[in-house]
Structure 1
């Protein structure tokens, strides 16, 4: 269904080709979907390239987007280059916007062939080697999502004129405190209504440290037998984590798999933990904070810009499952502390990380890169991001 019924994109609307790389279920896809959904069609209209048919592509079509399937690789095939080039030329695309390195490689080549500007959003902690190679070859503009990523890119030789920082945002209306009268999740797990739930939400892959979370859960199980832990997500470590949970004797940890009811699920939890070894600006933490939950997270990437240590949650060293367990135990034991930290986190999310502000910043950047829309240049990017810290 058209998200903006009765409103057609005018002839002056910027036409952006979103080139979305080899998709996994995660924050990148969610960001792209919400960005497209929020951008006014009078200002920007979108066409999307995806590497394969998937639920993400179907959801975008449900928003009224034209979605085309084009294989993407580190070395893009001629057929992919030819198809994307013909699309850009025939459809009057003004700018290519890439997500993930393989998409950046395809967009970079096509942008050079068609003389269109290329914007690549780097959702991870730092640009990959492929991102840097493409950037240096075609002078694409890199947009990163947190301050550490900005300085990392500068340190890798990215020109400040071709680099900006547009901090991630969260939909604070979709994700908001709304505690259910009765907990369906606790009922489904056979738990008492008063059971405190500590959650991990993310892809089950090494960089996210789900094994660290399980080791934390083992310690928490000994310290707070009245608490339970839940793991939300799937990924390549799923079988390994099931074996580790059995080895650790985790009787109080439940694997929930992927969920499509996250705004509701966050409100079933009491504490959210991020045990990552590497992050940029994790969407799961932003969503949990917007839902009024206290956070316990490792001090990596842009996470310290999200969490005010001791105010909206606590930070621990990467891999330090003992500290994570201690912080979680303190929150499990003190409902008033959970409520106080959660309320402060909600206020911080609304003030500094609202999605519409993020959409507006990226929209202005696109218009500036397109070069003919009469939009003012963005303010100094690092100063803008510093205001959120």
Structure 2
């Protein structure tokens, strides 16, 4: 049970988020749906812009979980419009009766939450869900400016939740004091072996993939952060060495046209099964090996889904990887964003059936460490400790 606030009512939690798709909103919706069962009154504040179908569908079920919603006008790029957005956020928090804890998610909503706290929230928590300062495409000047902003905003923050140990290490490296930091890893509802086997068979049948084929798959937004062009080049190298391997590319995004062109250029159009619209729980169980080529991450949910599906994992060294992948045990971690060493790591696993089976079994065992209930319980306890 949640501790009541000073007025004897259930603690009021306001969750603020700017993205309306992807892992950030999945995380926020897990909180919104799970916290009322732990005795909190919850308001989810989201952007009016770009609400995708899956997010809207979950919002429609809010009454089943007992949380409330509001929307404000948020834009990802910084500008004078942020002043109006901060006032709008203050307005909806006031209408909610104020917040015992105001919890901002991602850089934009996190910044506005901290600016909006005065006389509206007793405590403020921030979850970056992947520090923007990790973006390798930032130049030195821009990176330094964003680090300065994050350090300044940290002075207005009671706690900063890192969703992985890697993210916490980065926060400390950019000058955020350790007393502000707490690690609460992401979690999912672990899939049962029966669900995995049933989905694996159904998806493979739908895609024309035999039960004994070895499948290497990528699932993610086709955007610069995920480096899908690197994955495509890995596929070419893999098929050169093991032409019987089946390849699945799941996802779409702004880099979709470039990925399509690269597939054609490398002669892969008919060799790669591309699923522009795909849900991890429907697709990943069909994979034997999950490939991730991201440039930076906080703690991607697809890694948890790959563990739950019993996939060996080959990934670049980004946030969340050290929590999920023990190098050489349930996968391989590659330091360079280079198709050649990544392809060698994939080939070493899929060319050794015994190793592949052992890594897949280890993945399933590791999945048990990352449950959504554990994430919710630890977040609830943090809230209670602050008020």
Q: Secondary structure at the match of 2:15?
A: strand
Which of 235, 253, 262 in structure 1 is aligned with 2:253? 235
1:148 equivalent in alignment to 2:150: no
In 2 relative to 1, CA 15–61 (structure 1 residues): closer, same or farther, beyond 3 Å?
Answer: farther
1:59 is matched with which residue?
58
1:38 equivalent in alignment to 2:38: no
Contact 2:288/2:310 (<8 A) preserved: no
In 2 relative to 1, CA 211–116 (structure 1 residues): closer, same or farther, beyond 3 Å?
Answer: same
Deviation string 1:173-201 (CA, Å, 9 cap, x unpaired) is 47876213873433443444432211111
Distance 2:38 2:297 in 1: 34
1:83 equivalent in alignment to 2:88: yes
Which of 319, 328, 333 in structure 1 is aligned with 2:337? 319
Number of equivalenced pairs? 358
Contact 2:151/2:174 (<8 A) preserved: no
Q: Secondary structure at the match of 1:365?
A: helix
Deviation string 1:4-42 (CA, Å, 9 cap, x unpaired) is xxxxxx96322111111133x321111112222233434
Q: Secondary structure at the match of 1:183?
A: helix
1:213 equivalent in alignment to 2:231: yes
Contact 1:22/1:72 (<8 A) preserved: no
Contact 2:35/2:42 (<8 A) preserved: no
1:12 is matched with which residue?
9
Contact 1:112/1:138 (<8 A) preserved: no
332-341 vs 307-316, which moves further: 332-341
Q: Which runs of 5+ in 1 are unaligned?
A: 1-9, 372-389
In 2 relative to 1, CA 290–207 (structure 1 residues): closer, same or farther, beyond 3 Å?
Answer: same
Distance 2:88 2:384 in 1: 25
Distance 1:131 1:358 in 2: 28
After superposition, residues 1-389 of structure 1 pair within 5 angstroms as 12-23=9-20, 25-52=21-48, 54=51, 55=53, 56-64=55-63, 65-73=67-75, 74-75=78-79, 76-92=81-97, 93-125=99-131, 128-129=146-147, 132=150, 135-136=153-154, 138-173=156-191, 178-180=196-198, 183-250=201-268, 251-260=270-279, 262-350=280-368, 352-369=369-386, 371=387
Deviation string 1:357-389 (CA, Å, 9 cap, x unpaired) is 1211111112222x1xxxxxxxxxxxxxxxxxx
In 2 relative to 1, CA 175–204 (structure 1 residues): closer, same or farther, beyond 3 Å?
Answer: farther
TM-score by length of 1: 0.84
TM-score by length of 2: 0.84
Calculate the aligned-residue CA RMSD, in Å: 2.5
In 2 relative to 1, CA 168–367 (structure 1 residues): closer, same or farther, beyond 3 Å?
Answer: same
Q: Which runs of 5+ in 2 are unaligned?
A: 1-6, 134-145
In 2 relative to 1, CA 129–181 (structure 1 residues): closer, same or farther, beyond 3 Å?
Answer: closer
Q: Secondary structure at the match of 2:187?
A: coil
121-130 vs 147-156, which moves further: 121-130
In 2 relative to 1, CA 289–87 (structure 1 residues): closer, same or farther, beyond 3 Å?
Answer: same
Contact 2:215/2:247 (<8 A) preserved: yes
In 2 relative to 1, CA 51–129 (structure 1 residues): closer, same or farther, beyond 3 Å?
Answer: farther
In 2 relative to 1, CA 346–177 (structure 1 residues): closer, same or farther, beyond 3 Å?
Answer: farther
Contact 1:277/1:318 (<8 A) preserved: no
